[in-house]
């Protein structure tokens, strides 16, 4: 991809985060999400591209989301987009920890094209052998493999996961092993990046969350390194039918980074509220100050960008 897209995409997540600023702590997650979606759609439509939302937060009947299959841009290069305009809508509404505006772009047909489903995920950092994690094996086996390779005890492994009722059995098993568990309210994109980052004490991320977040997390890992495995979770025949229509035939497929993101990618995430990875947007007199993670896979470069906007 061309470097021209770096600033353009960074600018979009910055403006989206700024649009969410007035909704931080206001208790209205729907209004916060609507503000993010509206400004991101407006900004994307300004760009010289023929773009498609390959994976996002809903389909056409779920407006005001940036729906899967939506066409954007004013003409030009064929681009696919993976998007979460406001990761952590409830976090934003409660002025909590770790909401972000997130987008990734790549060439046409690069991203997994799938319905807005849940996805089981497991992720670790780079420089590990390919067989260290296996989503089809027990969490006990995965933690044991990781501890053995790191030459430490299972009790020294830090696991990050979403605090959800559906994870209770998984949580109990992890604690029975003796590993440490860091529960988060929301934000599994940042959690996967934290597990992959050498600057974090998180060793592994596990659990189920949105498929769009899985693709966005894989986009980040394609740039900075790290391993992720994901399996789509189907809860009905209707979901399977929708997936079939979008080209998905193997319902048990394990997706890794290059399955989720086939070609070079640019990833941008701007903090809305303070989080593990970036600080939230804040206002100082007549200007907004934002902090953004900007990654690209073709140069394997990562930047943390602080911007002042008047």
* CATH number belonging to domain 118-260: 3.40.190.90
Angle between helices 139-150 and 168-177 (to 10 degrees): 40
Tokens of 229: 């495995």
Annotated binding residues: 33, 57, 84, 87-89, 118, 164-166, 186-188, 210, 213
Q: What is the pTM of this model?
A: 0.95
Annotated binding residues for substrate: 87-89, 118, 164-166, 186-188, 210
CB 41, CB 33: distance < 8 Å: no
Annotated binding residues for Mn(2+): 33, 57, 84, 87, 213
What is d(CA 192, CA 282) in angstroms, rounded to the nearest whole number?
Answer: 25
The predicted-structure confidence for 268-279, as pLDDT tens digits, reads as follows 999 999 998 999
DSSP three-state, residue 255 = strand
Q: Which residues contact 25 (CB under 8 A, 6 or more apart)?
A: 93, 94, 95
Q: Which residues contact 2 (CB under 8 A, 6 or more apart)?
A: none
Task: State the pLDDT at residue 59.
Answer: 61
DSSP three-state, residue 224 = helix
Tokens of 200: 């974090």
* CATH number belonging to domain 3-108+264-309: 3.30.540.10
DSSP state of 27: S
Alpha carbon of 29 to those of 35, 56, 84, 275, 288: distances in Å?
A: 10, 17, 14, 18, 21
Tell me phi and psi for residue 250, to 5 degrees.
Answer: -95, 105
Longest dimension (CA), the chain: 55
Residue recorded with tokens 């399955």: 259
Task: State the pLDDT at residue 63.
Answer: 45
Give residue limits of the domains in the chain. 3-108+264-309, 118-260
Rounded-to-10 torsion of CA 43, 45, 51, 53 = 60
What is d(CA 109, CA 146) in angstroms, rounded to the nearest whole number?
Answer: 34
Give me the residues of the chain with pLDDT under 50, please.
60-61, 63
DSSP states along 110-161: -B----S-EEEEEEE-SSS-TTS--TTS-HHHHHHHHHHHHTS-GGG-EEEE
Buried b (16+ CB within 10 A) or exposed e, 64-103: bbbbbebebbeeebebbbbbbbbbbbebbbbbbbbbbbbb
Tokens of 282: 């804040």
Task: State the pLDDT at residue 265.
Answer: 98
- 118-260 and 3-108+264-309 share a CATH fold: no
């Amino acid at each position: 991809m061309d470097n021209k897209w770096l600033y353009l995409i960074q600018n979009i997540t910055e403006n989206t985060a700024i649009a969410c600023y007035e909704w931080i702590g206001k208790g209205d997650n729907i209004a916060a999400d609507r503000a993010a979606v509206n400004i991101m759609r407006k900004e994307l439509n300004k760009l010289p591209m023929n773009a498609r939302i390959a994976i996002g937060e809903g389909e056409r009947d779920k407006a005001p989301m940036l729906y899967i299959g939506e066409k954007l841009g004013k003409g030009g290069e064929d681009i696919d987009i993976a998007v979460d305009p406001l990761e952590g809508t409830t976090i934003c509404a409660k002025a909590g920890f770790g909401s972000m505006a997130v987008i990734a772009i790549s060439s046409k047909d690069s991203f997994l094209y799938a319905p807005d489903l849940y996805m089981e995920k497991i992720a670790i950092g780079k420089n590990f052998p390919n067989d260290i994690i296996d989503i089809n094996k027990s969490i006990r086996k995965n933690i044991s493999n990781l501890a053995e390779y790191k030459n430490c005890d299972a009790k020294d492994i830090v696991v990050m996961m979403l605090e959800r009722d559906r994870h209770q059995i998984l949580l109990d098993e992890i604690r029975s092993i003796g590993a440490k568990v860091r529960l988060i309210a929301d934000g599994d994109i940042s959690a996967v990046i934290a597990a992959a980052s050498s600057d974090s004490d998180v060793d592994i991320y596990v659990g189920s969350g949105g498929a769009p977040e899985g693709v966005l997390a894989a986009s980040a890992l394609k740039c900075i390194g790290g391993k992720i495995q994901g399996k789509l979770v189907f809860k009905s025949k209707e979901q399977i039918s929708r997936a079939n229509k979008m080209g998905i035939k193997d319902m048990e497929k394990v997706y890794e980074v290059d399955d989720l993101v086939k070609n070079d990618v640019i990833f941008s995430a701007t903090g809305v509220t303070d989080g593990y990875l970036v600080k939230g947007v804040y206002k100082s007199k007549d200007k907004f100050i934002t902090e953004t993670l900007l990654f690209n896979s073709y140069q394997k470069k990562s930047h943390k960008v602080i911007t002042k906007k008047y």
